[in-house]
Chain A
Amino acid sequence: MAAPTRPTRDPTAREGLERVRGRRPFRRGAVSGVRRPRNVLVLVVSLVVLVLAVALNVGRGEFPIGIPDVLATLFGGGDPSQQFIILELRLPRSLTGLLVGGALAVSGAIMQSVARNPLASPDIIGITWGASAAAVTLIVLGGAGLVGTLAAVGLPLAALVGGLLAATVIYGLAWRKGIQGFRLVLVGIGINAMLVAVVNWLLIVAQVYEAARATVWINGSLNARGWEHVVPVGLALLILVPAALVLSFVMGALQYGDDTARGLGVRVDRARSLLLLVAVVLAGVATASAGPIAFVALVSPQIAQRLVGSSRPPIGASLVIGAALTVTADLIARTAFGGVELPVGVVTAVLGAPYLLYLLVRQGREARA
């Protein structure tokens, strides 16, 4: 049975646009696209989850505060003591987690789209490990002298520089009359292995106390994060996410392959370089603030893509899902193990991995059915 077509009643038909696989298209000025209600639904639901996770995370602790009070305080109410606890002590930590998670996820989404390979996320190809190697070097060489301002400014700075340096080296080595996704991943994996070896070596030459401190850092931690950690990541996201969204129109063309994209009028190399730059700065800033929180950059875009049902990782949904994942993981890391506060990265790994496995298995079943 063929579905009845009613071209005359379809308002979009008058504008000369055709339905795309049953989806209603739209045009506003120079921009045209297809309505994706599922995309919006995913975005709304994950935003709600994110707000709830933040409220829960802010509320739990030595001095528990209920969700209604937390929400009231966040929107300007609450009594002074609650305001102090929430706004000065707990909110910066959750916000850092939210922003860092979002930045990592967007970075992963861009890189996975550009390289057309789900493994091309900053934690697999060595960018976050570049940051780690620099930070661990500082921790081990600095020893007991690494406290106060030196630790507060030096560690993030070293991490940022390390991440950017690693990315530059990877990009330079992968460049051969242009960038090809698969080669980028392979070169990245090579650099990553070197950096991991350097970190492991530093860990065995260090005193065990420094090794423990470095291990906390490598795993990504949100302990003792204040407003000074929130601001840089917030600024980076504010500038780079809109840039990524604008560039993502080009990303759609890139996924058909370089030749087709060129035929569609895209300046392929420039677009790709810009996109990768955005992704690398996001990952670098995020890692500088909280350490390389594992798995968020790899898994959030993949989850978002499967939930939305798109052909490549969507930036908006990845951002919100990455943020929600990180904040939820921090909540678990803080409260689930009695007196022990684990680094958030331990939990993101343990939490994110089974979900990705489940998605893989389910996707395989669907493909077989």
Chain B
Amino acid sequence: MTVGSAPVVPTAGGRGRARPKRSLRRRRLIGLGVLLVLLVLAVLASIAFGTKVIPFSHVGSALFAPTGTEDDIVIRSLRVPRTVLGVLVGVALGLAGALIQGHTRNPLADPGLLGVNMGAAFFVVVGIYVFGVTTLFGYVWFAFAGAMVASVAVFLLGSAGGRGGPTPVSLALAGAALSFLLSGLVSAIILVDTDTLDAYRFWNVGSLAGRDTAVAGQVVWFIVIGALIALATAPALNALSLGEDVARSLGQSVRRTRVLGIVAITLLAGGATAACGPIGFVGLVVPHVVRSFTGPDHRWLLPASGLLGAVLLLAADVLGRLVARPGELQVGIVLALVGAPFFIALVRRRKLVSI
């Protein structure tokens, strides 16, 4: 603190106007930096902590100079793949949430509400019951196909009336209706066949456990392509958030932006659900938190949402491993139990940022 120095008073109007912009930019950069640091910490925690207690010194040697001890095997073949999958899925869910909220201009929107989860669940149950699939590896394609079919159906049904795009309420209703329909069909199957219920109930709680690198390998390209499309359409999404008419008069192709948006959301959320089962709340909570420091600009909002999604998912996964030793609490359950109160606090504390 310098005592006695005169407070800086903006003398020219131009300087006064430039000021808030610069501070916003600084806030965004600091926010991104903090997120990156948190991500590194979360990755380290995810590798270091687990059911088996491994000293930090062994963690380091397992990563950089493995000698084939039990600790090395646990870290290299279980925790590292699990962490990689966690980052992948977290980024996907965070991005998908930000995208779907941007496209529907609805802070309620979450890939789960739009039928992606139930679509995946229905196809998985059909896979178990009809085709006798029982491995996590086998579920992936069924889940992915289901998520894709469901989200496209919801978008088409939700926009069947309006010109150019669905209204938030019609989209939410179409998603809820399709989800109910599919969950009815899922219930019908699992009630008739107890073996299917037995397999399905473990898929139905989203989890990172037991997925080897092959599962991540199956979905990684969907998620990467989805993320690239999402980031590429960020400027167009900014224009769309001014309203469709304004976007059109700015030279945007509304239809193309929407279609690319659906494709990206489906790839991201579908890939994540296929790999881990339904995981809620990341896509719903993350964009709200991120918006508090990025503002509504999607060029900042989208990458920051991806980063925070990964941080949140890894943190929840680590927490689930620590609270229920020697077993573990599935990450989907942890996220709902921790994320929901957080979300409610957010809803209560201030007026939700309207988009």
Known: A215-B191, A357-B174, A367-B162. A350 touches B204 (CB 8 A): no
Alpha-carbon gap, A348 to B348, bound state (A): 34
Say if the beta carbon of B108 comes within 8 Å of chain A.
Answer: yes
Enumerate A169-185 residues with CB–CB distance to B below 8 Å.
173-174, 176, 183, 185
Say if the beta carbon of B16 comes within 8 Å of chain A.
Answer: no
Say if the beta carbon of A196 comes within 8 Å of chain B.
Answer: yes
Say if the beta carbon of A349 comes within 8 Å of chain B.
Answer: yes
Instruction: Give the contacting residue for A345; candidates B178, B187, B332; CB below 8 A.
Output: B187
Say if the beta carbon of A242 comes within 8 Å of chain B.
Answer: no
B181–A212 CB distance below 8 A:
no
The segment out of A46-54, A60-68, A80-88, A200-208 that lies at the interface is A200-208
Alpha-carbon gap, A185 to B106, bound state (A): 13
Enumerate A5-25 residues with CB–CB distance to B below 8 Å.
none
Known: A204-B202, A215-B187, A368-B162. A360 touches B348 (CB 8 A): no
A189–B180 CB distance below 8 A:
no
Say if the beta carbon of B38 comes within 8 Å of chain A.
Answer: no
B174–A294 CB distance below 8 A:
no
B178–A353 CB distance below 8 A:
yes
Say if the beta carbon of B225 comes within 8 Å of chain A.
Answer: no
A261 contact set on B, CB distance < 8 A: none
Say if the beta carbon of A168 comes within 8 Å of chain B.
Answer: no
A298 contact set on B, CB distance < 8 A: 176, 180
Q: How large is the interface on B (under 10, 10 to 19, 20 to 34, 35 or more residues)?
A: 35 or more
A201–B329 CB distance below 8 A:
yes
B348–A208 CB distance below 8 A:
no
Alpha-carbon gap, A296 to B158, bound state (A): 21
B185 contact set on A, CB distance < 8 A: 346, 350
Total A-B contacts with CB atoms under 8 angstroms apart: 156
B163 contact set on A, CB distance < 8 A: 368
Tell me the dominant secondary structure on chain A's binding face: helix
Instruction: Give the contacting residue for B170; candidates A185, A203, A353, A360; CB below 8 A.
Output: A360
B170–A119 CB distance below 8 A:
no
B348 contact set on A, CB distance < 8 A: 173-174, 176, 183, 187
B333–A350 CB distance below 8 A:
no
Given contacts A204-B330, A352-B180, A353-B178, 5 further A-B pairs with CB under 8 A are A124-B176, A200-B201, A200-B333, A345-B184, A346-B185
A interface residue numbers (CB < 8 A to B) = 118-119, 124, 173-174, 176, 183, 185-187, 189-191, 193-194, 196-198, 200-201, 203-204, 208, 211-212, 215-216, 218-219, 294-295, 298-299, 340, 342-343, 345-350, 352-354, 356-357, 360-361, 363-368
Q: Can you list 20 A-B pairs with a CB-CB distance of less than 8 A?
A: A187-B347, A190-B340, A193-B336, A194-B340, A197-B205, A197-B280, A198-B337, A200-B333, A201-B205, A204-B205, A208-B197, A215-B197, A219-B191, A345-B187, A349-B187, A360-B158, A361-B157, A364-B159, A366-B161, A368-B163
Question: What are the 9 A-B residue pairs with the smallest beta carbon separation, nearest first?
Answer: A364-B161, A349-B184, A197-B336, A353-B181, A350-B184, A361-B160, A194-B340, A190-B340, A353-B177
